[in-house]
Amino acid sequence: MSNPSLLILAGDGIGPEVMDEVKRIIGWFGEKRQLGFDVSEDLVGGAAYDAHGVPLHDDTMAKAQDVDAVLLGAVGGPKYDNLDFSVKPERGLLRLRKEMDLFANLRPAQCFDALADFSSLKKDIVAGLDIMIVRELTSGVYFGEPRGIHMEDNMRVGINTQRYTEAEIERGARAAFELAMKRGKKLCSMEKANVMESGILWRDVVTEVHKDYPEVELSHMYADNGAMQLVRAPKQFDVIYTDNLFGDILSDCAAMLTGSLGMLPSASLGLPMANGRPKAMYEPVHGSAPDIAGQGKANPIACILSFAMALRYSFDQGVEADRLEAAIEKVLADGARTGDLMGPEGGTPLSTVQMGDAILGALDASL
Q: Looking at the annotation, which residues are catalytic?
A: 142, 192, 224, 248, 252
Which of 191, 248, 283, 325 contacts Mn ion by CB under 5 A?
Answer: 248
Which of 67, 187, 261, 324 contacts ligand NAD by CB under 6 A?
Answer: 261
Sequence-distant (≥ 6) Cβ neighbours of residue 154 within 8 angstroms: none
Q: Of 312, 318, 220, 210, whose CA–CA distance to 265 is shortest? A: 312
DSSP 276-314: SPEEEEE--SS---TTTTTTT----HHHHHHHHHHHHHT
Alpha helix segments (H runs only) across 67-165: 89-99, 123-126
> Are the C-beta atoms of 142 and 244 separated by less than 8 Å?
yes
Residues 272-331 that bind ligand IPM (CB under 6 A): 285, 287
**Total number of residues that touch ligand IPM (CB under 6 A):** 7
> Are the C-beta atoms of 37 and 71 separated by less than 8 Å?
no
Site string for ligand IPM, 153-172 (x = CB under 6 A): --------------------
Amino acid at 169: I
136 in contact with Mn ion (CB under 5 A)? no
Toward ligand NAD, which CB reaches closer, 42 or 238? 42
Which of 286, 312, 323, 337 contacts ligand NAD by CB under 6 A?
Answer: 286
Q: Least distance to Mn ion from the beta carbon of 55, Å?
A: 17
Q: Least distance to ligand IPM from the beta carbon of 56, Å?
A: 12
Site string for ligand NAD, 90-129 (x = CB under 6 A): x--x------------------------------------
94 in contact with ligand IPM (CB under 6 A)? yes
Q: Of ligand NAD, Mn ion, ligand IPM, none, which one does residue 27 interact with (CB within 5 to 8 Å by kind)?
A: none
In Å, what is the CA distance from 271 to each residue of 9, 161, 195, 337?
Answer: 21, 25, 32, 37
Residues 290-329 that bind ligand NAD (CB under 6 A): 290-292, 298-299, 302
The distance of Cα 176 from the centroid of its chain, to the nearest Å, equals: 15
Specify the 3-state DSSP secondary structure of 69.
strand
Cα–Cα distance for residue pair 75/15, rounded to 1 Å: 7
Q: Least distance to ligand IPM from the beta carbon of 121, Å?
A: 21
Q: Of ligand IPM, Mn ion, ligand NAD, none, which one does residue 286 interact with (CB within 5 to 8 Å by kind)?
A: ligand NAD
Specify the 3-state DSSP secondary structure of 256.
helix
Which range of residues in 136-144, 184-192, 244-252, 337-345 is near Mn ion by CB under 5 A? Answer: 244-252
Residues 175-234 that bind ligand NAD (CB under 6 A): none
Q: Of Mn ion, ligand NAD, ligand IPM, none, which one does residue 261 interact with (CB within 5 to 8 Å by kind)?
A: ligand NAD
248 in contact with ligand IPM (CB under 6 A)? yes
Q: Which residues face 218 on adjacent strands?
A: 187
> Are the C-beta atoms of 160 and 195 separated by less than 8 Å?
no
Task: Give the count of beta carbons closer than 10 Å to the beta carbon of residue 238.
Answer: 18
Q: Least distance to ligand IPM from the beta carbon of 75, Å?
A: 6
Alpha helix segments (H runs only) across 86-235: 89-99, 123-126, 166-182, 197-210, 223-232
- Catalog residues that contact ligand IPM under the rule CB under 6 A: 76, 90, 93-94, 248, 285, 287
- Catalog residues that contact ligand NAD under the rule CB under 6 A: 14, 18, 74-77, 90, 93, 261-262, 283, 286-292, 298-299, 302, 340
- Catalog residues that contact Mn ion under the rule CB under 5 A: 248
